[in-house]
Amino acid sequence: MNELLNSCTLCPRNCKVNRNNNEIGFCGMTNQLMVARASLHYWEEPIISGEKGSGTVFFSGCNLKCVFCQNYQISNNNFGKPISIHRLSEIFLELQEKGANNINLVTPTHFVPLVIEALKIAKAKGLDIPIVYNSSGYENVETIKLLKGYIDIYLPDFKYYDNKYANKYSKCNNYFEAVTSSLDEMINQVGTPQINEEGILIKGVIVRHMMIPGLLDDSKKIIHYLVDNYNDDIFISIMNQYTPTNNLINYQEINQTVNDKDYDELINYAIDLGIKNGFMQEGETQKTSFIPEFDTTGV
């Protein structure tokens, strides 16, 4: 599968650079796997983390690079430790040994061929817990198709409805088209949600939407779209944990936390639409303490 990196089109950026020849596209990565942290994580949705935790692997680089990214250290600054495919497979098994409910691949899009090879090795050695694909939602359908049979749970973001916001904050003008087409393929692969006796998701799709300050109307359009098109075939997670970073000097309109009244209005809107499979956030979630410490733990 490494030949897919000879002219990389893994994501909708379609950079077509030769990453096997150390060329770098928008994601900032060559063909060298880079991981910033691998550990049990307890702050995902309850049906992902549970009490045992989710075995998260944070990959360096990103194909979206939002200006407000809370993981800026790894997504934009590309912090991480270079590892081999074999080492990645060992990390998967180590997280399983620690009791993880699942293996949670965070921002893996630009490394999909390498991740698949690592999963093959690990599964041959006894990896048997669900695999979570946790991404920005900015995906090429053909890349998602490569993952059929390897991924049990898809956990994509749905950040923007109107591409003018995607262009402004993530420098892409086709986010809506990418996220909706790839979401169709994700649901086609894993089907409706399946939860085990311990209350942990083992198959299915959770779509995350994190509110951005001032974009209540855009958020409503996203929730309406998801209910209209998928209803109870997915879980919808509506998040208020947006935390301003130090990189928003030129974006003062979003250099603030989400208005509580706006969030409550969005939740009520979702309830009025009839959402049954959903999650909301309560309490003080807008803290940097919710951002993992990227220090190559477990790598």
For residue range 21-78, list pLDDT tens digits in order.
999 999 999 999 999 999 999 999 999 999 999 999 999 999 999 999 999 999 999 9
Give the pLDDT confidence score for residue 284 in this predicted structure.
57
The rounded distance, in Å, linking the Cα atoms of 159 and 275 is: 19
282 pLDDT above the threshold of 80: no
Torsion of CA 91, 112, 76, 39, to 10 degrees: -20
CA geometry: angle 135, 218, 58, nearest 5 deg: 15
pTM over 0.85: yes
Residues β-bridged to residue 133: 105, 154
pLDDT band at 247 (very low <50, low <70, confident <90, very high): confident
Q: Per the domain annotation, does 170 fall within a domain?
A: yes
* pLDDT higher than threshold 70 for residue 155: yes
- Pure H helices in the chain: 46-49, 72-75, 85-97, 112-124, 141-146, 163-170, 175-190, 216-230, 260-273
Instruction: Give the total number of structural domains in the chain.
Output: 1
* CATH number of residue 198's parent domain: 3.20.20.70
Q: Positive or negative CA dihedral for 178, 179, 183, 184?
A: negative
The answer as to whether 224 is a domain residue is yes
Tokens of 134: 């946790």
Residue 167 domain flag = yes
Structural domain harbouring 114: 2-290
Give the pLDDT of residue 283.
Answer: 60
Residue 220 near residue 160, CB atoms below 8 Å: no
Percent of the chain with pLDDT over 70: 97
pLDDT classification of 287: cutoffs 50, 70, 90: low
User: What does pLDDT average to over the chain?
Assistant: 95
Question: Does the structure show a pLDDT above 70 at 286?
Answer: no
Of 195, 235, 208, 234, nearest in space to 50 by CA? 195
CA atoms within 13 A on the CB side of 120: 11
Query: Is 270 among the domain residues?
Result: yes
Query: 54-59 and 33-41: which strand pairing?
Result: antiparallel
Coil, helix or strand at residue 299: coil
d(CA 267, CA 261): 10
Domain presence at residue 79: yes
User: Residue 292: pLDDT band by 50, 70, 90 thresholds?
Assistant: confident
In a domain, 64, yes or no: yes
pLDDT in tens, 183-212: 999 999 999 999 999 999 999 999 999 999
Q: In this structure, is residue 297 part of a structural domain?
A: no
Could you tell me if residue 299 is inside a domain?
Answer: no
